Every structure is written in C-alpha cells, then in structure tokens.
Structure 1
Amino acid sequence: MAMPAQAAALAETGAPGNMGDVRRSNLALVMGRIARQPAGVHLTRAHVAATTGLTKASVSSLVVALLDAGLVRETGLNPQGERGRPGVGLELNPARAVMGMEINVDYIAAGVTDLSGTLLLREVRERDNRDSEPGPVVAALAALAASLCVEATGRGIQIVGGGLAVPGLVDPARSMVLAAPNLGWEGVPLDLAALLPGSPLGVALFNEANAAALAEIARRPAGDADFLFVSGEVGVGGGLVIGAELFTGPAGHAGEVGHVVVDPGGTRCSCGGTGCLETVAGQDAIFAAAGMAGLPVTRSAALAALLSALDSGDPGARAAVDRAGRALGVALASTARVVNVGSVVLGGHFAVLDQWLRAPLLASLEKYAPGKFTPGQLTVTAVGDPGALLGAAGSVVRSLVEAPHLLQA
C-alpha cells in the first residue's frame, strides 16, 4: 500500500514519531545500555532486551547496526546470568576513539581517549599564544593532532571525532571564540575542520573550565552532584555543576568566577574590568607578586620555581599565595551566596598550590561565608592536568552514545 502523502512528507523531514526516529531512539537506548557497563561486564543481547524492554529481535537488529558502525564489538560467550546456551557478550569497541584538544595561553595539548573515557595518548607542547593570530595556533594544534592520529592508527585505532577546549567564551554553533582576553581573541571563528580532517563527527568547541568540570562529574564521590570547579591558569575559569549536570546559563556563559570582583580598587583585568579575581589569583598575578614576573622561563619551570620558593619559606612567595587564597575565598563566598553549591573543586595551579593555598582560602571563606563550607567540601581535581581535554573528548563520546546513528554508513 502506498504511503499517504502527509505521512511521506513527515518521514522525509524527520518529523517526530516516524519510524526512523523510533529506530534512532532505540539505537541510542541499546548503545547507552552497553556503554554504562563497568569494565569487564559484558551484556548479551538477551540482557539488553530484558533491561530495555525491547524485543530480542529488535535488539539483535540494532546490535548489528552498532557492530557495522564499529561502535561495539562482540567479546565471546558470556554464560553469566542466562539459562541454556550462553549468549555473546558486547562491549564498546576499543578500536574507536575520540580526541580531546586544548588551546591555552602558554601551551597546546591533545589526547586520545577510547569510548569508555580511558586516556590512551597525550602530548602537551608549551607555546606562547598570547596575542597570536588564531591561524598559526590552530595549525600548530592540527600538527600535534596529526601526530597523535598517526600513532593511534599504528595501534589500530580510528579517531571518529574530537573536542577543543579554549579559555574563553565560545559559541559552539558558529565555531567561534567570542572573547578570550588572555589570548587576545574576540569574535574569532576557528577552522575546526582543520584539526581532524575527514573525521566523521568533526570537532566540537568548548569553554576550557566547563570541559574540565565535565571531566570531574564522572569522577566525583557518590552524592557529590553539586559543585563549582575553579580552574587556575593564566586566567581563572569556572564550571558550575548542579544535579550532576553542567549549568551554563541561557547564553552558555555561567560560572565565570575568574571575573568576580575581589578588589574594587585593584588593577585592570584583561576582560576590561577592574579588580577581578584573576588579577590577584591568576598565574601571572601570583608570579608577579612573588617577584618572578618577566623571567624568561616556561610555565612548568615557573611553577617549579614558585614551589621551590614556597618550600624554602620565601616570604614573597608565601605572601603572594596567601593573597591569592584570600581573594579566591572572597570570590567563592560571593558565588556561594548566589548559587547554593555543595562543594568546590580546585584545578590547575590552585590544585598544585593547595598545600599553601588552603589555609588562607579556608580562613577567607569562614570570614566572608561562615559555616558555608567545611574543609572536606574543598577538594582538588580528581582528573588533574588533562581535565579540559578529557572533558571535551568525553562530551563528544556522550553525544555519540546519544546519537549513534551519526556513524552509520
């Protein structure tokens, strides 16, 4: 029987409720069920059918589609929990991966993760990107990504897409950096296709602190679903997590704790304001206050020198970190009054300096927001330095799990 004209039109436009939508929804349901399994646990088709409510015939058809797309693979017979003949186990295909990338003020980085989020490869290259044209920076990152692609290919791994984290306000839909003051970029479109040419999913754009916060979500203790992630780099970024979901606000720019004013009579910030947190607690501000400004050293060497000075009890270094801790406390106290987060996670140099930063930070929090945070609610990152690229990569994987049809032939 011929399909009615209206139904045919709806099918062609992908309107809600057509058979294509139902199949895509069920494909995502099956993919998500397989993806949520802990390492070493392999569901069979019968397990998937029983836990999703789909028929065994539907699950078998959907699994074939996922196998053909290379997203899952069979692992052999799995006798656990089934009567009669054991079924064949299923798992995410370790031969498919995504790439997380990061552009920051003084380095670029890239890393390859499998679909379960395990970091397989990573490389960081120090590079001064201040006031650089975007083209050469993207080209340098593309070269780094290409080298990791070659290494991944040598291991039999195909990279299907990626995510890029940048320290600034971004518009992912237009692949544009709206404002990244410490890079000197404003209203800058990025050629994301150049980073992973030919990849099926392309490259998605993220704010650096938001991406790092996403990486923290899966690694927080059970029940810790509300937290503010604070990223300490040359600038200071923030990612706000509520109910285990990243909250970015209507325009996607919520959580910018680095530009909370902590010193109204202070110095000019790169954002154009005055007295922002990053003018006191950003890397450059701490190095300057510790008497290390202008030294011709790399970021890692500068941090190492600061740590050495702190270890030796250098008064200038201690005073600089104390001042940063107090200012961070003011910003967090103000933020906590507006958004009722349950805890704070410190990343970047705040995590590195935790041993010296914690006491002035806690004292400041107690002064300006008494009883709001206990010492146990102030923790350091569980992910570490790769947080931004892991979060960017993980978000791409999550999108793929929710829409596996994107990789179907």
Structure 2
Amino acid sequence: MRLREFRALAGRHPRVVDAGVAAALAAFCGLVLTGQTGATVTPANALDWASVVLVPVPLIWRRGAPGRAFLATIALLWISAGTGAQSPAAFLVSLVALHAVARYHPARYVWPATALCVLPALENRPAEGPAWGAFFAVAAATTAAALTGVNQRTRAAYLQELEDRARRLEQDRDQRARLAVAEERARIAREMHDVVAHHLAVMVALSDGAAAIEPAAPQRAAAVMIQVSATGRQALSEMRRLVGLLRTSSRTGDAGRAPQPGLDDIDALVERMREAGVRVSLVREGAPGDWGPAACLTVYRIVQEALTNILKHAGPHATAEVALRYSADGADVSVVDDGAGRVAGRPEPGDRHGLAGMLERAGAYAGHLDAGPRTGPGWQVHARLHFGAT
C-alpha cells in the first residue's frame, strides 16, 4: 500500500489508528518493563503491568478530545508514580499526548501542557546519573514534541488555506465564465432585436406598397411580394443562426451559419430600404482600416437600426442620407432623414431598445452617439467610433 493510500485510509478511520498507536506504546512499555530492550529493571508486579496497560488508553481519544486525553494521561502518570508502580517508558506516552495537544489545540494550551508533562516524568527518571542532566533531557524532549505538533498544526492550517483559496479561485473562474456567457447572450439578444425589427419593418412597408398597387398592375404587385418573400427568408436565416448560438448544446462545425454582415453589406442594406420606398442616399469618405469584423459589424448595425427607425416612424415616403466618413483610427456614422415632412418626437421608454443597442455598440469602442429630433422635421443619428490606428 502506498503512503498516500495509507494516509487516506487513516483519515477515514482515525479512532482505529489512535487505538493502534496506544497499543503499540503499551507493547513497547511492556518490553522495557521486562528488560527486552536491554534496560535494567526490577522484576515487575501486577501494579506495574496495570500502569503499562492503562496509561496509554486515553490516547485512543487524542484527536477527538486532545485536551482531555492529555489530562487523563498526566493523571494516570501521577497516580502510577504515587503508587510506586514502575513504567520506565511511560514518558513516551506523555510526549504523544502533548504532541496531540500541540497539533489539534490552539497555541495558548501548548506551553502549560508542556510544563505539566515535565513534572511527572521526573518521578520516573533513572536513579543513576545527575538529576539536572535528566531534567534537561526530559525538558528538551518535551519541548521538541511540542514544537513538532505546533509545526504540523501550522502547516495543516497553511495547506487548508491554500485549498480554500484554490476553491475560491475556481468558484470565481466559474462565476466569470457564467457572466461571460450571460454577456454574450445579451449581445445575441440585441442582434436578434436588430434583425427582427429591420426585416419586419421592410416586410410591412413592402406589403403596404403591394396592397396600394392598382389591380390593373398585378405583375408589379407580384414583384413586390417576391421582395417580401426574399426579405422573410433572409430574416428566418439570420434568426436560425442567432437562435443556434443561444443553444446550450455544442454543435460541431460552422456549417449553415452565415458570416456576420460588415461594411460591404451596407450597399445591400440601403438597396433593401429603397425597395421598401425610402429614398436613401449613401455617401462614403475615406478608406476603412483593417479594424476586424466586430468593428465593421458595429457600423453596419448602427446604420441598420437608424434606417429601420426611419421606416418604422417616418414611413416609406421619407428621404434619408447615410454618410460614412472613415479615418485611420475610426469612423463617423451619420444618418439623417426628413421625417416625410413630420416633426419627430422623443421615443417612449418602452420603444428605446434600438437606441440603447446603438449606445452600447458605440460605447464598446470608446465612442459616443447622439440621436434625436432635428431642428425641423425628421430625425438624426450621429456616432463617432474609435477603433484604433492600424
């Protein structure tokens, strides 16, 4: 059996181990009493054997009740000395009891217990030799046993602290992982809002346009409904991708997941809005940097949300201008509409999800966003995004 397995077994059955220690000490004291170890002793009597057997018994409880076991051991040693029973090795029993006090009790109990341990041991010191030499030998051995127990207790407390710290770090890591998942789900939820709001607004505008077409032009109405169908299929495709990201079960591969839109998809976005009836002009200045897909997605989503709000609140007869100005470290995004001649009002609290999403996207890149009614009719959105120099 390996040492680690033995320690695990001893940890599961501490009382059996302590009983084994007490039996081993009693056996050793018996060997010393009978002269088997080479020590010179007088013939043993029944009282001596009673002392050899009884003095180690309290050690069975040395871990469960170390203080009481120590006091019981010292009391038995004093009784043994008072009755004249000889037990030459009983001093070892007191050292084991003292070690248990130092190992399992606070430090304030150690040194008083050390003093109590020295006194009865002097009663059993060898008759030959200097008395003070025996005293210092006993004191040194007793102090060594106490210091050993204190060191083990300190080391055990240190290891326990390390285990607690590792456990806390593991819990903190798991909590951070859960927060990251929650943040990612919130981001995906914003993506879903943008996708649903935009495509539904386009589909509603196209449907209204098809309904307004005269019966004499069914081919034109059919063409508009084809655009409604295409927009619906695109919305379903993006919704499937986003809902797939929300599933907890992992899926192998990225098959069936369309790439996130970027700067190159803004032309198609503008074209869809034109087909829905909004007269949109697109102006670009400068060249975009190598900012990465997340930054390009942010620009796209801000333009998408702004145009969706135009279609939703101003209607398909509005006129809008999208201006994209690129620089080395970021982009200026401006979307302005005329409100179809109507003065825009402040949105209601329950209708500010799109605006909140744009604010969060701009804030993620240390930018700022201004959105609100124009001086005259219409609405304006301006975002300044900082992506860093490339």
Shorter-chain TM-score category?
Answer: under 0.3
TM-score, normalised relative to structure 2 = 0.20
- Kindly indicate which of the two structures has a greater share of residues assigned to helix: 2
**Richer in strand (by share):** 1
